[in-house]
Amino acid sequence: MPWRAVTLLVEAAAAEAMSEALVDVGAHSVSIENLERERQSLYAIIAMGEDASGLVARAAHAAGLARAPEFTTAELADDDWVRKSQAQFPPVEIGGRLWVGPSWHEPPARRIVVRLDPGLAFGTGTHPTTQLCLRFLDQHVRGGERVLDYGCGSGILAIAAAKLGAAQVDGVDVDPQALETACANAGRNGIELRATLPEALPAGSYDIVVSNILAQPLIVLAPLLAARTRPGGRIALAGILQAQAAELAAAYASWFDTGIHDVQDDWALVVGARR
């Protein structure tokens, strides 16, 4: 069966949301390239019979873009599809403990393994914002913590926290399909994950709250995420460019002592300690 590759350019701040939306509307896999640039390349693989224009338009609408980006297409043979798809998702080692990779790679010894195959939902460990959060979890989850992943997507952060030793891990997402995917990925990794819509999350606070979405939603969510972080607990916020960090930190200043914890390819991780 032949496949089609669709390549499009989007602003860096919207690349993650557009990538997730492309998968949601039918792309078999999506990779993000040119991560260091203000405009990033998205490379999606779709079935040959799929309407590329309609798929891109639906994804742009779901991602909140004002208009659908321009794109180019190219035909792929079966062997090209397999090779290109697998090459887009190399395994990564995170910090001193984690290894994240798809099922066709063999992990090294003495690493905590998180397996995620592409094409289910966004979040395979290759994007800088995901890696920033994973490094934070590698550094701060020591065992027994309660962790909340708000905007869990594929569930990668929640799964990593559980593998690192968190006693309880909950995931929240506004997309029911993402919740199903997160739970399925957790099951494949031998993890029991409670994943819910925001309004269904039981009352309670957490030792660690992570949220890898976008700057504006994170600003709006500040009171809610603060209420979910116990006094003395930590919050880690990603999906923002370094230039957006000061505005985001100011939104959380009433509850947290915040600062930039880590930077990768112009993406920043803002971390706070709950007062």
Domains of the chain with bracketed CATH: 3-87 (3.30.70.120), 120-274 (3.40.50.150)
pLDDT at residue number 121: 45
pLDDT at residue number 120: 45
pLDDT at residue number 210: 98
pLDDT at residue number 85: 55
pLDDT at residue number 154: 87
pLDDT at residue number 36: 65
Residues of the chain with pLDDT under 50: 81-82, 120-121
Residues 6+ apart with CB under 8 A from 36: 265, 266
CA-to-CA separations, 141 to 28, 93, 260, in angstroms, rounded: 33, 16, 19
> Tokens 């509307």 identify what position?
25
Q: Alpha-carbon distance 205 to 219, whole Å? A: 19
Put the strands of the sheet holding 29-33 in their side by side order. 29-33, 39-47, 3-11, 71-76
CA-to-CA separations, 248 to 80, 153, 224, 254, 269, in angstroms, rounded: 42, 21, 14, 12, 10
Nearest Cα to Cα of residue 237 among 207, 205, 259, 254: 259
pLDDT at residue number 218: 95
